[in-house]
Amino acid sequence: MDFTPEEQQRYARQLALPEIGTAGQAKLRAGRVLVIGAGGLGSPAALYLAAAGVGTLGLMDGDAVDLSNLQRQILHATADVGRRKVESAAAKLRALNPQTELRLFPERFTAANAAARLADFNFVVDATDNFASKFLIADACHAAGRPYAHAGILRFHGQVMTVLPGKTACYRCVFEQQPPETGASPQGPLGVVPGVLGTLQAAEAIKFLLGLGQLLTDRLLTFDALTLRFREVPVKRQPHCRLCGDPDHARP
Amino acid sequence: MQLLVNGKTLERPEGDTLAGLLVALGADAGRVAVLVNDEVVPQARRAAAALHAGDRVEVLTFAGGG
Per-domain residue ranges of chain B: 2-61
Q: Is A220 domain-assigned?
A: yes
Query: Does any domain span residue A215?
Result: yes
Cα→Cα distances A79→A105, A244, B38, Å: 21, 44, 48
CATH number of residue A159's parent domain: 3.40.50.720
A150 and A221, same domain (yes or no): yes
Nearest C-alpha in A relative to B32 = A175
> Which range marks the domain in which residue A108 is found?
31-234
B33 touches chain A (CB under 8 A): yes
Q: Mean pLDDT over all residues of chain A?
A: 96
Percent of chain B with pLDDT over 70: 100
Asked whether A127 and A41 are in contact (CB, 8 A), the reply is: yes
- How confident is the prediction along chain A (252 residues), in pLDDT tens digits per residue? 699 999 999 999 999 999 999 999 999 999 999 999 999 999 999 999 999 999 999 999 999 999 999 999 999 999 999 999 999 999 999 999 999 999 999 999 999 999 999 999 999 999 999 999 999 999 999 999 999 999 999 999 999 999 999 999 999 999 999 998 777 778 899 999 999 999 999 999 999 999 999 999 999 999 999 999 999 999 999 998 999 998 777 555
A244 located within any domain: no
How far is it, in rounded angstroms, from Cα A127 to Cα A34?
10
Put simply, the chain A residues between 111 and 130 with a CB less than 8 A from any chain B CB are: 126-130
Distance from CA of B8 to the nearest CA of A (A): 11
From B13's Cα to the closest Cα of chain A, the distance in A is 25
Based on the domain organization, do A168 and A52 belong to the same domain? yes
ipTM of the complex, rounded to two decimals: 0.93
The CATH T-level fold of domain B2-61 is Ubiquitin-like (UB roll) (3.10.20)
If you count residue pairs, one on A and one on B, with CB atoms under 8 Å apart, how many are there?
Answer: 75
Residue A248 placed within a domain: no
Residue A184 has a pLDDT of 76
Please tell me the distance from the alpha carbon of residue A201 to that of residue A195, in angstroms, as a whole number: 10
Question: Same domain for A8 and A68?
Answer: no
State residue B11 phi and psi, 5-degree precision.
-90, 125
A41 vs chain B: nearest CA distance in angstroms? 5
Structural contact between residues A125 and A35, judged by C-beta atoms closer than 8 angstroms: yes
* B62/A40 touch (CB, cutoff 8 Å), yes or no: no
Q: Are residues A179 and A207 in the same domain?
A: yes
